[in-house]
Amino acid sequence: MNPSLLCLFLLFLLVFHPCLSTSSSSSSSSSQLFEAWCKQYGKSYSSTQEKLYRLSVFEKNLAFITQHNDLGNSSYTLSLNSFSDLPHHEFKASRLGFSPTFLRLNRKPDPKPSVVRGVPSSIDWRKKGAVTNVKDQGSCGACWSFSATGAIEGINKIVTGSLISLSEQELIDCDRVYPNSGCNGGLMDDAFQFIIDNNGVDTEEDYPYRGVDSTCNKKKLNRHVVTIDGYTDVPANDEEQLLQAVATQPVSVGIAGSGMEFQFYSKGIFAGPCSTSLDHAVLIVGYGSENGEDYWIIKNSWGKNWGMSGYMHMLRDHSNPKGVCGIHMLASYPTKTGENPPLPPPSPPPGPTKCDFFSKCGVGETCCCGKTFLGICISWRCCELTSAVCCKDRRHCCPHDYPICDSERNFCLQANGNLTMKANESRGSLGKSSRWKVACFLNCYASQNSATEESEEAALRSPAPQSQFSGIHNVFRNVAVPAEPAALIRKCSQTKTTSNKGSS
């Protein structure tokens, strides 16, 4: 049976079927559901012990979801999603990222928003083409950047007619004015001010999202594709002013999004419970009514597997000045009246990674030291991953977001010691020609670099099996230090031609 269909069937059976409860769900059925869920979301664990722990967390979350739905007295339902193996403290640590300590510190006295005459009874900026696709912040606490870019994307479409997806990574890397701190949180007003001071922001395509704190790319920082003139803060705890603002354009807001009900929201009008301690940032892209209940249309940044394909309907509670989850407390939007500057020329393709004055690795690779003498690296190796962590064994490397090397078990671990990544085939080895190209590179430069080992070439020819997760990587090839480039290239081409004759 197709794993996705199996998962959907089990989800329906165990979560929504009125005759089943947590107590009647057997251990075997929850285990089967967990296995189907793992297949659907590509989950894999480093050990049996960790998998059992995640299963126990999954069962507790399933019980919480089932209990909520079985009560039948709520305006919304919950369901399993990609967060179902996370205990609540892990979820909060990885999926929020709003800086509540500085809520009023930097809010300047702006002119009151102009009163909008004849506010429509409902509006959905998605239908007007002013909202980009739902994005996923991953485990980086940069919700503030997604809320800010979403608001700018909206007003840019309204003013210029062009919907352009903008770069959250630029804000994460380059907007480091306190309190904004990349994946550790920030505020939308500060993001707006940064873009004003920078005279614009780059596109998502040119400065793509990586989900980690990185060094600011100054060349792309200077690509001013979309500009804004300023920003306006909606008066706090004023639903009417917020409604008028949303009738004009998408609006950035802070909310309290750390509750378990929020974590597993599936559909319906969300009415809490939640606090008003703001810890998450989202985008209001409209409002409407259903069965006499008014709601806001919320765009989240947790991917399309959360909520209603990445969206939520949140109750417009007219009796609560702060709004459900504090949604009336901290709202702002960018202002824009004119066209964008002429499009800058495309960014030049990235060049090789320099290891030292004489050595370099390929585009997007990381230099790892293969041999030292008197504390100075005299032989470099190339890891195929960008901004990778070089393992102490000098044979492997790990992704930057899984920085702990466990070479004995062939795993890369996160800092909390719980999450792991399994071994994976080296990226770049896409087929015989690609493998021969790299292997040929080893053959050509074996005499130029004493650190070359036959075992590495053998590993290249027999890469580790493909897995759902990228993990610890062999540092397959050594850095080229060419003395006679033309001669070596000719030799490499001859080797490749000869080798390919024997391959099918």
SS3 335: strand
* Mean per-residue pLDDT over the chain, rounded: 77
Q: What is the rounded CA–CA span in Å between residue 471 and residue 402?
A: 8
Q: What is the rounded CA–CA span in Å between residue 267 and residue 262?
A: 11
366 phi/psi in degrees, rounded to 5 = -115, 135
Cα-to-chain-centroid distance, residue 424: 21
Residues 195-217 have pLDDT tens digits of 999 999 999 999 999 988 989 99
Decide: 228 and 335 in contact? Cβ < 8 Å: yes
Decide: 461 and 432 in contact? Cβ < 8 Å: no
Decide: 261 and 273 in contact? Cβ < 8 Å: yes
What global pTM score does this model have?
Answer: 0.69
Residues 97-137 have pLDDT tens digits of 565 554 544 555 455 555 546 799 999 999 999 999 999 99
The residue with greater pLDDT, 228 or 467, is 228
Tell me the CB-side half-sphere exposure of residue 238, using CA atoms within 13 A: 14
| pLDDT above 90: percentage of residues in the chain | 47
Q: Which stretch, 22-26, 96-100, 257-261, has highest mean pLDDT?
A: 257-261
Q: What is the rounded CA–CA span in Å between residue 481 and residue 353?
A: 13
Residues 416-467 have pLDDT tens digits of 544 555 433 233 222 222 222 222 222 222 222 333 333 333 333 333 333 3
Say what the pLDDT of residue 290 is. 94
Over range 150-158, report the average pLDDT: 98
336 phi/psi in degrees, rounded to 5 = -160, 135
State the SS3 of 159-196. HHCCCCCECHHHHHHHCCCCCCCCCECECHHHHHHHHH
Alpha-carbon distance values, 501 to 194, 432, 496 (Å): 57, 12, 9
Say what the pLDDT of residue 281 is. 94
Range with lowest mean pLDDT among 8-12, 171-175, 202-206, 408-412: 8-12
pLDDT confidence bin for 91, thresholds 50/70/90: confident
Alpha-carbon distance values, 375 to 87, 158, 371, 396, 475 (Å): 44, 58, 9, 20, 21
pLDDT confidence bin for 399, thresholds 50/70/90: confident
- Residue with structure tokens 């306006």? 232
CB atoms closer than 10 angstroms to residue 43: 18
Active-site residue numbers?
143, 280, 300
Strands (E) located in 374-428: 376-383, 389-390, 396-398, 404-406, 411-413, 420-421
- Tokens describing residue 85: 């193996």
Over range 49-63, report the average pLDDT: 93
Over range 44-53, report the average pLDDT: 90
SS3 117: coil
Say what the pLDDT of residue 85 is. 92
Say what the pLDDT of residue 176 is. 84
| pLDDT above 70: percentage of residues in the chain | 72
Decide: 448 and 481 in contact? Cβ < 8 Å: yes
Alpha-carbon distance values, 428 to 385, 450, 454 (Å): 10, 24, 20
- How would you class 9 by CB atoms within 10 Å of its CB: exposed for 0-12, middle for 13-18, buried for 19 or more? middle
Over range 81-100, report the average pLDDT: 80
- Tokens describing residue 15: 């979560």
pLDDT higher than threshold 70 for residue 488: no
Say what the pLDDT of residue 130 is. 98
Q: How many helices (H) and strands (E) does the chain have?
A: 13, 20
In 3D space, the residue among 310, 214, 285, 298 whose CA is nearest the CA of residue 256 turns out to be: 298
pLDDT higher than threshold 90 for residue 73: no
